Amino acid sequence: MSEQGDGAVAGALGRRQKVTADVMTRATEVTELEDGYELHYPRTAAWREKLDDYCAAWSKSCPNMSFLVQPGESGPLVLRIRGPEGTKAFVEGARYMLTSHFNPAPTLGHKLRVAGQLATSPLRSLPDFLIIGAKKCGTTALYSYLTQHPRIVPALKKEIYFFNAYYQRGTLWYRSHFPTRGAKGDGLTGEATPDYLYHPHCAQRIRDTLPQVKLLAILRNPVDRAYSFYNHNLRAGLETLTFEEAVASEEERLAADADKVEAGEFGFDFMHHSYLSRGIYVDQLKHWEKFFPREQLHVLRTEDLYERPEEMLRAAFAFLGLDYHAPDAFKKLNAAPPYPEMEASARARIEAFFEPHNRRLGEYLGRDMGW
């Protein structure tokens, strides 16, 4: 994609994210329905336009869900979001994420807080740990569980993208996202940007900036990860091809970005259309081993985190040198809206593609990943 095209897509995505953040966080009343939620808003022309934009975008990207505005003759504007199993979890997750330290909505208050923290950057800590990936593998749930520990102070937001997208802004900008040394005390702080694992420049940049940092990577069945990432991009308006077309086009798309990525620049296709390449975890882990000793990296399986969360969390806390602390609840966060199952023929082909890479990963880690 051309730089002009990249800019147009980024602009459209930014506008959509702003509309979504407003709709999800500024409802005056929220009512749970049997198959979704009903949200109320002020009866103004501006809100009607915003809700119409929201419904048009999400109806297109989530065709198995219903997004409908019921204006009525009086009273508030009413948005009803309904659909199959998973719809309520999606709405609940979106509202939670946008009002928490994970992915806060870009409100005036949040922007003022960011500006204030930048002014005190020299007094702030650098992270003690990083969750480096992988994308669409449960990094949000893992970060949530970890940051509920009384000795862990979370960053201003979960994903900072410093080492892959904003490295040129410098470490003072990076420090502005973390607590002051006084507020952290003898505890820990950290962030979770799941693109770090995949990006070829992050390992060296992190080693140069944070040589003693502890790294956590969480890995999911790469077939499921690829399809989840595809549906994420489809919802965001970042993908127009079918899943099989996107997979078939991946090599060509990434090749067009190769020079940009090598130069340390942002590559749109590299970041957004890397469905299969992100799932070759073994090559990424071996690359990181060039810069960090293996004992500085803790690897989890997504499936284990959901099936045996306490056991996995105990191991993660032990890796960080902390006693176990149970979170309020073990639950999946950042839930995606329901999407159709992958075609069986496509799944078989992609499983065959990943089979040798998964085998190499198991040999490298000394355990069967079960994929």
DSSP string across 299-324: EEEHHHHHHSHHHHHHHHHHHTT---
- Going by their DSSP bridges, the two strands 214-219 and 297-301 should be labelled as parallel
The DSSP secondary-structure symbol of 39 reads E
48 residue type, one letter: R
* pLDDT value of position 335: 67
User: How many Cβ atoms from other residues are within 10 Å of residue 285's Cβ?
Assistant: 18
pTM comes to 0.87
Phi, psi of 180 (to 5 degrees): -65, 160
| Tokens representing residue 79 in the block | 């948005």
Q: Where are the chain's structural domains? A: 13-92, 120-365
* pLDDT value of position 1: 57
CB neighbour list of residue 320: distance below 8 Å, 6 or more residues apart: 128, 129, 146, 188, 214
The whole-angstrom separation of Cα 327 and Cα 132 is: 21
Count of residues in the chain:
371
**How many helices (H) does the chain have, and how many strands (E)?**
15, 9
| Tokens representing residue 221 in the block | 């069945």
CATH architecture of 120-365: 3-Layer(aba) Sandwich (3.40)
Q: Which residue has the tokens 């869900």?
A: 65
- Give the 3-state secondary structure of residue 154: strand
Q: List the chain pLDDT tens, one digit each, 371 residues.
A: 555 555 566 566 778 888 999 999 999 999 999 999 999 999 999 999 999 999 998 888 788 899 999 876 788 999 999 999 889 988 998 888 888 777 776 777 777 888 889 999 999 999 999 999 999 999 999 999 999 999 999 999 999 999 999 999 999 999 999 999 999 999 999 999 999 999 999 999 999 999 999 999 999 999 999 999 999 998 888 999 999 999 999 999 999 999 988 888 878 999 999 999 999 999 999 999 999 999 999 999 999 999 999 999 999 999 999 999 999 888 776 667 788 899 999 999 999 999 999 999 999 999 999 99
Residue pair 103/192 in contact (Cβ under 8 Å)? The answer is: no
* pLDDT value of position 5: 54
The whole-angstrom separation of Cα 26 and Cα 66 is: 20
Half-sphere CA count of 64, side-chain side, radius 13 A:
11
Phi, psi of 5 (to 5 degrees): -65, -40
- Going by their DSSP bridges, the two strands 29-33 and 36-41 should be labelled as antiparallel
| Tokens representing residue 56 in the block | 């048009």
| Tokens representing residue 287 in the block | 């690359």
Nearest to 9 by CA among 190, 239, 185: 239
Nearest to 74 by CA among 98, 108, 40, 106: 40
Q: Is residue 99 classed exposed, middle or buried when 0-12, 13-18 and 19+ CB atoms within 10 A define those classes? A: middle
* Helix, strand, coil percent values for the chain (each to nearest 5): 50, 15, 35
